[in-house]
Amino acid sequence: MRKLLLLLLAAVSTAASADPALTVFAAASMADALKAVNGGYPAAFKLNLGSSGTLARQMEQGGKPDVFISAAKDWADYVVAKDLVEKGSVKELIGNALVLVAPSDSPLQPFALDAKTDLPSLFKGRLSIGDPEHVPAGKYGVAALKHYGWFKPLEKRFLPGMSVRDALMVVELGEADMGIVYASDAASSKKVKVLAQFPADACPPIVYYCALGKGASPEAAKYQSFLLGDKAAAVFKANGFAPLAGR
Amino acid sequence: MSVMFFTPAELEAMRLSLLVALASALFTLPPALAVGLFLARRDFFGKSLLDGLLCLPLVLPPVTTGYLLLLCLGRRSPVGQLLEAWFGLRLSFTTAGAVLAAMVVSFPLTLRAVKIAFEMVDRRLEAAAGTLGAAPWRVFLSVTLPLALPGVLNGCLLGFARSLGEFGATITFAGNIAGETRTIPLAVYSMMQSPGREGAAMTLAAASVVIALVAMVGSEMLNRRARRKLAGGG
């Protein structure tokens, strides 16, 4: 019994102590792309995926990533303001676009989206969207809906997800007839189809930021420059992300 | 006046929490009584397997339970389609779904308490009532149930408490929809995610402490009354 206890204690304490793997806190929408990108980098990784807001909160409560990737400027600013990342390490990483998706067997067909579209009457039931309270994709989505004047009629029909990937899953399962996710999320799923893409001017620019966690190792800095390099950018692009303007 | 202290969103979350937990505790009781009595009185092949199956939601991570519910009762599942076609009823991402998620997760707790309560009832008293000419349902209502009542109440309280705190199965199966499924735990979670909402999260946390205390004290009072009645009337 005592041996067992000691063994358990050892197992738990080594898990908490320093180890060579790079810890990356990344926005949920990065899940597949980041795994693909990391496959080309010689290091072990520990990924913690969630909505950018959730991750920023975790860092505030003592979570210590080597690299933090946020899907929105406000959460990147938030961790800077709270002094949770290395000063001056916040860099623009990659871009993305917002799309409307439906289950792949939905009768809805792709359409041209413009000011004349009557989105609220195009579908019944709920609109799956990342919780606009804290999920960047939800905030961008609300901005885009407001841009076209669809926010008021659709607000009551929101089905808010804990992260953009939750919003995607709800559409995959057919629980919502339509959802707003990133182009990269739609590209990652075979169970949804893209109905329309929001034009870039419908919402604030969607930019991912990466930053070095407070006290991150030199290895983390090396990894960050790899993320910002051309090789990683190509993989991100292949996964449905949009290159940043001016690069 | 105390109502003014809360925002409409907080009041909504409290109302939903109470509604979901009360409905869950109430609707869980009849099946728990039936199954509890059955398990307490009958021995059959595969009894421990059935017992284990019924208690599965106690051990399964609630998010898993929610996901299984979504697969079994969601809009695309055969059962979900039948419910929608026949009764126009949707469970996933509705208040009814939140109640169901709470029921599934709290059922094992209520069941265990009820089962033990029935096992403790002195069967000679039931036999005596029988020899005095009482029909089986009469024996159950006037002897078995009153004797088991403290345990049954305890089971109800456990179920209520578990339902009040339910998070994982609810957010997976019923979502986090303000005014429909955003109960106190989900509201607190949402508020914790947004900067500057810590105050609101604290308010709701305090509210759940009060609700929990009232429920505990209330059930203890009921419990005492049941015991007094047993001691006095027996």
- Tell me which amino acid residue A193 is: K
Q: Tell me, yes or no, whether B2 lies in a domain.
A: no
**Is it the case that residue A235 has pLDDT exceeding 90?**
yes
pLDDT digits (tens, 9 = 90+) for B169-225: 999 999 999 999 999 999 998 888 777 777 888 889 898 889 889 888 988 888 888
**Is it the case that residue B71 has pLDDT exceeding 90?**
yes
Pick the residue of A51, A82, A162, A164 with the most B CBs within 10 A to test the interface with B by mutation: A162
pLDDT, chain A, mean = 91
Q: How far is A229 from chain B (nearest CA, A)?
A: 32
First to last CA, chain B: 46
- CA–CA distance, A159 with B75 (Å, rounded to integer): 14
How much is the pTM? 0.84
Question: Which of A80-94 are b and which e, b meaning 16 or more Cβ less than 10 Å from the residue's Cβ?
Answer: beeebbbeebbebbb
Residues B177, A158 contacting (CB under 8 angstroms): yes
- CA–CA distance, B126 with A118 (Å, rounded to integer): 69
User: Residue B222 CB: number of other CB atoms within 10 A?
Assistant: 16
Q: Tell me, yes or no, whether B14 lies in a domain.
A: yes
pLDDT score of B4? 61
CB contact under 8 A, A131 and B190: yes
Map out the domains of chain A as residue ranges.
Answer: 2-95+206-238, 98-202
- Of B149, B143, B146, the C-alpha closest to B128 is B143
pLDDT score of A14? 60
Count A/B contacts: CB-CB distance under 8 Å.
46
Q: Tell me, yes or no, whether B81 lies in a domain.
A: yes
* CA distance readout (Å), A67 to A21, A71, A79, A166, A212: 12, 13, 12, 23, 5
- CA–CA distance, B228 with A224 (Å, rounded to integer): 70
pLDDT digits (tens, 9 = 90+) for B144-156: 999 999 999 999 9
Q: Closest to A175 (Cβ–Cβ): which among B74, B191, B194?
A: B74
A131: contact with B, CB 8 A cutoff: yes
**Is it the case that residue B33 has pLDDT exceeding 80?**
yes
Which residue's structure tokens are 């620019």? Answer: A205
Question: Which of A159-178 are b and which e, b meaning 16 or more Cβ less than 10 Å from the residue's Cβ?
Answer: bbbbbbbbbbbbbbbbbbbb
Q: How far is B105 from chain A (nearest CA, A)?
A: 21
Reduce the DSSP state of residue B163 to 3 states and report it: helix
Q: Tell me, yes or no, whether B135 lies in a domain.
A: yes
- Structural domains in chain B (count): 1
Give the containing element (helix H, strand E) for A100.
strand A98-103
Q: How far is B197 from chain A (nearest CA, A)?
A: 10
pLDDT digits (tens, 9 = 90+) for A35-53: 999 999 999 999 999 989 8
Write out the residues of chain B at the interface with chain A, using a CB-CB cutoff of 8 A: 70, 74-76, 92-93, 171, 175-178, 190-195
Enclosing domain of residue B19: 7-233
pLDDT score of B1? 42
Chain B residues within an 8 Å CB radius of A126: 93
The pLDDT-based confidence of A12 (bands split at 50, 70, 90) is confident
Q: How far is B77 from chain A (nearest CA, A)?
A: 9
pLDDT score of B234? 47
Residues B32, B110 contacting (CB under 8 angstroms): yes
Q: Tell me, yes or no, whether B1 lies in a domain.
A: no
Residue A40 is classified by DSSP as T
Chain B residues within an 8 Å CB radius of A176: 93
Chain B residue at shortest CA distance from A127? B177
Q: Tell me, yes or no, whether B138 lies in a domain.
A: yes
CB contact under 8 A, B74 and A174: yes
Chain B residues within an 8 Å CB radius of A131: 176, 190, 193
What is the CATH topology of the domain spanning A2-95+206-238?
Answer: D-Maltodextrin-Binding Protein; domain 2 (3.40.190)
What is the CATH topology of the domain spanning A98-202?
Answer: D-Maltodextrin-Binding Protein; domain 2 (3.40.190)
Residues A128, B175 contacting (CB under 8 angstroms): no
ipTM, two decimals, is: 0.78
Question: Which of B185-220 are b and which e, b meaning 16 or more Cβ less than 10 Å from the residue's Cβ?
Answer: bbbbbbbbbbeebeebbebbeebbeebeeebeeebe
CB contact under 8 A, A162 and B171: yes
Same fold, A2-95+206-238 and A98-202: yes
**Is it the case that residue A246 has pLDDT exceeding 70?**
no
- CA–CA distance, B42 with B38 (Å, rounded to integer): 6
**Is it the case that residue B85 has pLDDT exceeding 50?**
yes
